[in-house]
Structure formats: structure tokens, C-alpha cells
Amino acid sequence: MSVTVSLINNKGGVGKTTTAIHLADGSQREDNDVLLIDLDAQGSASLALGCDSMEPSIGAVLYDDVDPREVIRTPPGSEIDLITGASSLKNADIRLSQEYGREQLLTDALDPLEDQYDMILLDCPPSLSLLPVNAIVASDYFVVPVEPEYLALEGIGSLLDTTREIREGIGTAAELLGIVVAQADFRANSTGQIIEILREEHGEAVFDTVIRGNVRVSEAASYGVPVYEHAPSSTGAKAYSDLTEEFLHRLQ
């Protein structure tokens, strides 16, 4: 039986997709069978793993009842399995809003994969629209990547309140697995202070590992591979390896 984890934040540019890719690939390297599902219309995770063609995507599964096993691929840049995102997801709210049980559509769509993987990771778009709500409902856990800036302190509280309302309103069992501090720039004097406040407010929910902004990680995405492949001895690779170790430990 697989465990499903969503990566969510309604703010873009916080390292969510990069974290999703490296948790997926890092977990695969620790002998787990992993599926990453790209729920973003921009297909950022798919592009960062070397895919140059996005269709058929998760959209075919949600819109046309295509069996998800028929759209799984192994991307050029990793040994994980991937279901791509695509521009067809831009109108997901419109297309899915009239469906019966609209918050449960992704849960139902993933049923055939229940025993195929150790882990399914869902990379959500930067919003709390219908698609991320579906992801939360389909998940056992969710991870929140945040950038250490003052606006994030208020934003994460609001985000966690919203996920609580979703869980209570719809009845999903999804729990917060942790908060990942990503894109940290310690050249800014406020960074350390903000991280300290996050730890004071959210305690052990905040992962010990802090992901700093790293040029090797950015380069890796442009080459269509994870940083483990592009620059395995880099500080970025070490940080994501440490984060993956923490992530897997929390799932035990």
C-alpha cells in the first residue's frame, strides 16, 4: 500500500517543485518505488526532469477517465516514474467543478496505483484551487515548502488553517508531515531570525534541514536532471539528501 504526499504552497517561487523532484528522486535512490505526479499546468517538474512532450498528462486521467497506468513514463533525467503536467490543466477548475464529488476525483483516479508504488508525490500548482484541494484529499500527508521571508510567516498560518478546513470539511485524513525552509539566503540578515520564528511557532514540524539557494540545483533543472546527477558532491545535493533522509524517517 503506497503513501501519498502532497507538496503545497499557494505562493510560487518557494522551491516547491524543486523539493518535490529531489524528494522523489532521493527516495527512489533509497530503494523506494516512487511516482511523481505533476499537477501544475506549467509542467515545471516535468520540464526539470527532461520531458519535452507533456501529453498525455494527468489531465487525460482527470478529464477523460484514462487509466493512470497508461500515462506513466520514466523521464530522461531520473529513474522515478512520472505523470506529467500540461497546459490542459489551466482550466481544471472549470472542467472539474461540475463533476459529482469534485474534491474526490484525484483520489478515485489514483485507485489503480494503490499497490504499485511505495510512495506517490503530488507536486501542486501555487494556489489552493480545486486541483490542490483534490491533492490534499488524496494524500496521507502534505509538506509545505516556504521561503524564509516575513510575508511567509503569516502566509503559512493561513495555509495551515485552510488545509485544516479542507480536512474537517471533506473528511480527509491528510496530516502535516513537515515544513521545509527552502531558497534560504543567509546573506540577508533577517533569514536566520525568520527561521527561528518559524521554529518557535511550528516546533518540530519544521524540518531540521534548511535548503539554501544553490546555483548547482538551478543548473541541474536546466539540464533536465536532479542535482544528485548533475553535481553529486555539491552542497545542494548534500542538503536535499539530508532532507530526504528526514522525510523518509518521518514516514516510518
How do residues 226-239 score in pLDDT, each as one tens digit? Answer: 999 999 999 999 99
Q: Which grid cell is 221? A: 533543472
Q: What is the pLDDT of residues 78-94, one digit of tens each?
A: 999 999 999 999 999 89
Tell me the C-alpha distance between 130 and 145, whole Å.
Answer: 20
pLDDT at 1 over 80: no
Domains of the chain with bracketed CATH: 3-251 (3.40.50.300)
Q: Please write the tens of the pLDDT for every residue from 143-187.
A: 999 999 998 888 999 999 999 999 888 878 899 999 999 999 999
Are 173 and 140 within 8 A, CB to CB? yes
Q: Which residues sit opposite 184 in a β-bridge?
A: 212
d(CA 182, CA 187): 14
Round to whole Å and give the CA distance between 104 and 208.
33
Contact between 230 and 216 under an 8 Å Cβ cutoff? The reply is yes
Closest CA to 86 of 30, 42, 122, 116: 42
The 3-state DSSP class for residue 231 equals coil
Give yes or no for residue 114 having a pLDDT over 90. Answer: no
Say if CB 83 and CB 58 are below 8 A apart.
yes
Q: What does DSSP say about strands 81-83 and 206-212: parallel, antiparallel, or unpaired?
A: unpaired
CB 206 within 8 A of CB 181: yes
How many Cα neighbours within 13 Å face the side chain of 176?
21
Rounded Cα distance, 30 and 14, in Å: 25
Give pLDDT, residue 136.
96
Strand order in the sheet with 34-38: 81-83, 34-38, 119-123, 3-7, 141-146, 175-184, 206-212
